[in-house]
Chains A and B, each alone.
Chain A
Amino acid sequence: VQELLVEEVSI
């Protein structure tokens, strides 16, 4: 939980 303001990851 290592410039984008938002990043989605696959849980």
Chain B
Amino acid sequence: MSVSATSAFDASAPWQLSEQVSLRDEAFGALAYHHVNRRLVFLKSPELVAIVRGLSSFSSAHEAIDAHVDSSQHQRYVSALSSLFNSELLSGR
């Protein structure tokens, strides 16, 4: 049995957009570009962009999500932030 060395995204922790990442607004949401690992990520909802831009204002990702989307969409956005974390676009604070 192997144990994954990667850490999981903790939505109860405080996060922010990595300083290595630039966001460019698009009609569908935004493009995120990581200047070090050169990853290009499409954020395909304006709400997700608002959550990501506002992450540093909240004490947890859960709170940031709740500020922008309905509770029925909450888990979907946790998964989206987890994907951004895995792409190294988010950093802890």
Q: Tell me whether A6 and B39 are in contact (CB under 8 A).
A: no
B45 CB-CB contact with A under 8 Å: yes
Tell me the count of chain A residues lying within 8 A, CB to CB, of chain B: 9
- Contact among B33, B38, B80 with A5 in the assembled complex (CB-CB below 8 Å): B80
Chain A, residues 1-11, CB within 8 Å of chain B (1/0): the string is 10011111111
Q: Tell me whether B42 and A7 are in contact (CB under 8 A).
A: yes
Which residues of chain B have a CB within 8 Å of any CB of chain A? Answer: 26, 31, 33, 38-45, 48, 76-77, 79-80, 83-84, 87
Which 7 residue pairs are nearest across A and B when measured between Cβ atoms? A5-B80, A6-B83, A7-B42, A11-B40, A8-B41, A6-B80, A5-B48
Q: Tell me whether A5 and B45 are in contact (CB under 8 A).
A: yes
Nearest-CB residue, chain B, relative to A9:
B40
CB contact under 8 A between A6 and B43, given known A1-B26, A1-B31: yes
